[in-house]
Structures are given as C-alpha cells and as structure tokens.
Amino acid sequence: MSADQVLDLSEWGDQLRRDPHPVYARLRELGPVHRVRLPAADGHYDTWLVVGYQEVRAALTDPRLANDGSRSGARPLDEELIGKYLLLADPPQHTRLRGLVARAFTMRRVEELRPRIQRITDDLLDEMLPRGRADLIDALAYPLPITVICELLGIPEMDRTEFRKMSTELVAPTSAEAEHDATVRLAEYFTGLIEDKRCAGPTGDLLSDLIRTTAEDGDRLSPGELRGMAYLLLIAGHETTVNLIGNAVLALLTHPAQLAALRADMSLLGGAVEEALRWEGPVETSAFRYAAEPLEIGGVRIERGDRVLVGLTAAQRDAARYAEPDRFDIRRDTRGHLAFGHGIHYCLGAPLARLEGRIAIGTLLERAPGLTLDGEPGEWLPGMLMRGVRSLPVRW
C-alpha cells in the first residue's frame, strides 16, 4: 500500500463503532501509520491515524506533534468559544496551565476524597438495589463521577439530564450544529458561574481556588483560561470515568470466569480495573495533534500542518506489546498501557478516575452478588474520541 493512499474507514460501516478492534488489527497488519478518511458530524475528514503501540507511545511524547492547532493554522471550535485549555496547549503555556491546577490532583488530595466517594456510591446503590434491575450507566456510572467532579469544582446542583445531553454532544457529536450549540451553552454557563464565584469570595472549592491562585511569579489564570479549565475538568472529569466503570463492568459480566476469580479474591480488583482500561479503555483516540514541522512516524512522512490522531484503543491491543491482546485477563501485567495517555499530556485526573472506578466496581460486586446482564448493552458512542455504551441493563 502506498504512503499517500487514503483508507476510507466508513467502508467498515457500523463495525467501527460497535467493535473497532478487528479494524485496528487489520490496519496494524498493513503498517503502524495510515492516512484515513473518517466520518464526521458534518461529512468526513482525512487524517493520519497511528495504530502501533510503539509508534503511539512515541507520538504522544514527540514535541513536533503540537496540541495547539494554531501552530499549523487550525483553531478548534471549542477554543474559539470556550478558551485555551490543557489539551489545546503546548509548552511553555501547557507547563504554566498544568502547574496552576496540578496541586488539586495529587495522590494525597485524591485520597482525601475516598470517604466521600464511598458515601456517594453507597447512596446510589441504596437507591438502585431494591429495584432488582437497572441501567447501570444511569444508576451508578454517570451520577457518581458527575457528583464528585461537581462537588470538587464547586458547581451547584444542575439539571443533570440537560448537562448530560450537552456533554455527550461534545464528545460524540450528532451534528455540527448540535455540537456548536452545546459548546455555546456551556461557555455561557461557565462565564456566569466564574463571575458568581469571583463576586462571592473564597469558598474552598477548586474553581474558587483557581480564580484566586497566584504562582510565585504573580501569574494567574485569565478569564478565558479559567473557563477553559472548568470546561476541561468538568467534561473530562466525568466522561472518562463513566466509560471506565461501564466498560469494566461489561467486560467482567461477559467474562464469567474472570468475574468469578475477582469475586473469589477481591485483592485482584486493582488489576481488574487496569486490565479493563487496557482491554476497552474509555478514550479511543487522543485529541488531534498537528505536525509543527515535517516528520516521520513508523517510516511514514507527515507534512507540516497535517492532522494526526493517536490511536490509544488500537495500541492497547497490539500483540507486539501484549501477548494474546484480545484476551481479557485480570491477572495480566498491564504496565505501560496508554488508557490515560503518556507524556506531558498524561491525564491529570487519572488517580481520581482509578479511585472512583475501584470503589464503584468493588462496592457493586460486594452488594450485588447475583449481578448479571439484563439484555443487550445500548449502542456504543459515535465518533472516535470516547469509547463506551449509552446504556448497560443489569439485574441481580
């Protein structure tokens, strides 16, 4: 296959949404990097797609691949309406922004949240379990992380049904118009919220702290940067964890021997969560990278300005890195998995997501010993950013 050939992934139809792993396996057989055409809300787009583990890991740390699209003439919609945030920034701006917020996500600060996360989980299960059956996404996987991140940020109780629609539209858009509308509405919401908090004075929550955070050199976040940070932390802070919990429970329920092994030895819970992250992680591809200069990836030349998608899900099933990669094995050595990325853009909230996942899944299995699927899972999210099901019917 020539380096300039474009592979139209829409030819695989709905399989790319339902089960992309055979598609990625076929691509890896042909090579680690491909020029592909992908369906989008407003038509289609061409991009480079990296699918080999070693090439993905290297691409995530290559400074020639910029997250800031302006370095190649591009400017994402959310940056125009929301403001600059971590996933759209490169050093030194990225270093500055991350430094101003990283203190809120240290292992110590996250561990302090354990009792509250446990309490929220218990309350949700108290409400869910007497019913005998439920959609696990609606009953646990969604409300737990959205409650935790809203409390952490200091966001008041909001219409979660409406917010969920907007959030899902951003990570899995159904149309360009709907995506634009959701972005505008969230930008307006965060602008008002930040102004309210600025006027109210310190309240001890993360957003209030960020408004008043000053670095040693006197640096502070601008209004646009505050809005961008709130947007990123709220969206990324719950969407990934929803899918982590949903995908992990689905993997366990469809692999009864692994579920039985975990029930027999709950010390395997940490390994089960990590294997679920590798086997069916919540993020399918990275945010777009842009070639700031010509470079080669996997022997393929990428020209300046080209867009690059780094395939996290594809890399996790690369047999060159993990033996029998399609086998779900909670005792597997999963070190080096890329579910949370790699390098300077490694997910800031990974410790929090892991803690929520372990508490939610562990408590669910302890309190619902007869847990099983109650029909087919809902459809997988569209697009190639998030990997998760819209619903997960279970009974016990």
The per-residue pLDDT for range 342-361, each reduced to its tens digit, is 999 999 899 999 999 999 99
DSSP symbols for 169-203: HHHS-S-HHHHHHHHHHHHHHHHHHHHHHHHH---
Domains of the chain: residue spans and CATH = 6-395 (1.10.630.10)
How large is the angle between the packed helices 176-200 and 223-253, nearest 10 degrees? 120
The overall average pLDDT reported for the chain is 89
Residue bearing tokens 């997960």: 392
DSSP symbols for 289-338: EEESS-EEETTEEE-TT-EEEEBHHHHHT-TTTSSSTTS--TTS--TT--
**DSSP β-bridge partners for residue 65:** 291
Whether the CB-CB separation of 157 and 143 falls below 8 Å is answered with: no
**DSSP β-bridge partners for residue 66:** 290
Ranges of residues in the chain with a pLDDT under 70 are 1-4, 40-43, 71-79, 158-161, 214-219
Give kind and range of the element (H or E) at residue 7.
strand 6-8
Q: How many CA atoms lie within 13 A of 123 on its CB side?
A: 10
Distances (CA, A) of 38 to 1, 56, 71, 150: 18, 19, 23, 34
Classify residue 61 by its DSSP letter.
T
Its sign, for the CA torsion 30, 31, 34, 36, is: positive
- Phi and psi, residue 16, nearest 5°: -65, -30
pLDDT for res 256: 97
Strand order of the sheet with strand 372-373?
133-135, 393-395, 372-373
pLDDT for res 163: 74
pLDDT for res 129: 98
pLDDT for res 1: 45
DSSP symbols for 104-140: GGSHHHHHTTHHHHHHHHHHHHHHHGGGSEEEHIIII
How far apart CA 319 and CA 196 sit, in angstroms, is 52
How far apart CA 132 and CA 60 sit, in angstroms, is 44
Classify strands 43-50 and 33-40 as parallel, antiparallel or unpaired.
antiparallel
DSSP symbols for 10-57: GGGTTHHHH--HHHHHHHHHH-SEEEEEEEETTEEEEEEEE-SHHHHH
pLDDT for res 215: 53
User: Could you give the percent of the chain with pLDDT greater than 90?
Assistant: 59
